[in-house]
Amino acid sequence: MPDQSFQHAATTPADVEEVWQALDLPASWEAIPGVDRVVDPIVDASGRLQGFSFESAVGGRRYNGRATPAGREAGRMVGWHISTSEITGLVSVGLAPESEGTRVEVRLAIEGVGMLGSLFFPVIASAIGSGFADAVEEFVSGLRA
Query: What tens digit of pLDDT does each residue of 28-56 get?
Result: 999 887 788 999 999 999 999 999 999 98
Q: How many CB atoms lie within 10 A of CB 1?
A: 12
Question: Which CATH number is 3-141 given?
Answer: 3.30.530.20
Secondary structure (3-state) at 140: helix
Residues 19-35, mean pLDDT to the nearest whole number: 91
pTM, full prediction? 0.86
Highest mean pLDDT among 80-89, 91-100, 130-139: 91-100
Q: What letter does residue 35 receive in the DSSP assignment?
A: -
The span from the CA of 123 to the CA of 72, in Å, is 31
What is the reported pLDDT for 120?
A: 66
What is the reported pLDDT for 59?
A: 65
Neighbouring residues of 96: CB distance < 8 A, sequence distance ≥ 6? 16, 76, 102, 103, 105
The span from the CA of 24 to the CA of 48, in Å, is 5
Domain ranges in the chain are 3-141
Q: Which of 19, 64, 58, 66 minimizes the C-alpha distance to 41? A: 66
Q: For all residues of the chain together, what is the average pLDDT?
A: 88
